Chains A and B, each alone.
Chain A
Amino acid sequence: MDNYERELLKGSTDCLILSVLSDHPTYGYELIREIEARSNGYFHFREGTLYPALHRMEKEGLLEARWDTIPGGQERRYYSLTEAGQRALKLRLDAWSGFASAVRAVLKPATD
């Protein structure tokens, strides 16, 4: 992933996280794997960068977290969307789709 793609990813991280969590609550490791799987491996995070983003969104009230223990005894911290998170996701998706169609409209003649 080059610098330009990295910058694009940086600006979209929150939206990707909120979008996956809108489907079901999950924990950090599974969240990363799911984003990778849904993007066919395109989005490949430095895994440690996910947690500052998750904690920031939790502090902003977009996410809430709870600890759970799986049958093997391992503890996991599950994140889910709050109502404020759902509203933020909707706003970001609207903004993103407007932005994406505008970029497509501008770039299309050049790529034809």
Chain B
Amino acid sequence: MYKKLGEYVAAICGTVRIDSRDRSSIDRELRSHLEDHKSELRRRGLDEDEARREAIEAFGDPHAIARDLYIVHSQGTWRDAFLTSLPHLLVAMLLTAYFAHSPECAIALVVIAATGILQAVSKRAPAWSFSWLGYCLIPVVLAGIMLLDATRWWTLLGTAYIPCAVLVVVYVIKETASRDLLYVTLMLAPWAIITAWTLATNSLLDVQDGSLDSTQFHHHARELVASFVVLAISSFVFARIRPRWGKVLALVLPLAAVNGYVAVRFWSQASLWGLVASVAAVLLVSVPTLWEFRE
């Protein structure tokens, strides 16, 4: 039994994984309600403990209330859904522009990076910003890969840079997980697709050497672009759908479908390690989402 009203309210609000400002408002509102009820019961002659117990009992099961509140507040607006899917659409456009040898790709890249970074550093990241955040990690990781293949002086720099880059990535993932585990999967989803396409069309050695062959990307330009369009649609559905299990399916299924398609398409030419890495990427990205269903 809860010894304080605050503990009971925390049991509700602690499991409602929504925007912190909304959660704080719900906390104040429920607390005020319970205080009102307790005061009324005290006026009727109940002692402090009885009044608290009865007020809590009348309020109901905290888990059921938290679930219902999550369902109400987890649904993003149409604007939120559009903004969640926008970075993937921009990447799809960027790839289209690249394959068509268009200079607009550079402008699109700058827009994506600038918007994502602005959102990443904002104090109150809205839910849709997490799908942008994944792309912000690309320069951090790419710089590390490039340093691996650099001269001795740069390699020394690399030994200093790479642990810092790992720390940045771990910090971003940890902060995202503290908000909601599902956002970790939303954030890292493009990485699973990038890994699958890169390793399906290049050997691990090529990736290590930084000598990626773009001919295969050109041959499969439409499918590559379609992968990001699928990601955009799944992010849109993720933002709009209410039940939590629906959000999980919206994230994991399209990702598994895209990587499954890439694996089947390149079955004969991809290396075994490439296919294993592709499957591992989907599993790793999905783990945070599936983790909460462990019980």
Contact = CB atoms under 8 A, between A and B. Distances in A.
A in complex with B? yes
Interface of A: 27-29, 46-49, 51-52, 55-56, 59, 67, 74-77
A59 B72 CA distance: 8
Nearest to A60: B72
B69 A52 contact: yes
B30 A55 contact: no
A55 B64 CA distance: 15
B290 interface: no
Given A28-B29, A75-B28, A55 B73 contact: yes
Contacts of A47: 33, 37, 58-60
Interface of B: 12, 25-26, 28-30, 32-33, 35-37, 58-62, 64-65, 68-69, 71-73, 75
B19 to A, nearest CB: 13
Contacts of A52: 65, 68-69, 71-72
A74 B73 CA distance: 25
Contacts of A28: 29, 33
Given A51-B69, A55-B72, A77-B25, 9 more contacts: A28-B33, A29-B37, A46-B58, A46-B60, A51-B29, A51-B30, A52-B68, A52-B72, A59-B75
A56 B72 contact: yes
Contacts of A46: 58-60
11 contacts: A27-B32, A29-B33, A47-B37, A49-B65, A52-B72, A55-B26, A67-B28, A74-B35, A75-B28, A77-B28, A77-B29
A6 B11 CA distance: 26
Nearest to B62: A48
The 8 A-B pairs with the shortest beta carbon distances in the complex, nearest first, are A52-B68, A48-B60, A46-B60, A48-B65, A29-B36, A48-B59, A56-B72, A29-B33
Nearest to B73: A55
A8 to B, nearest CB: 19
A88 B73 CA distance: 21
Nearest to B70: A52
A77 B32 contact: yes
Contacts of B25: 77
B32 A74 contact: yes
A71 to B, nearest CB: 14
B37 A49 contact: no
A75 B72 contact: no
Contacts of B62: 48
Nearest to B28: A75
A49 B73 CA distance: 14
A25 B58 CA distance: 23
B43 to A, nearest CB: 13
A74 B35 CA distance: 9
A104 B65 CA distance: 35
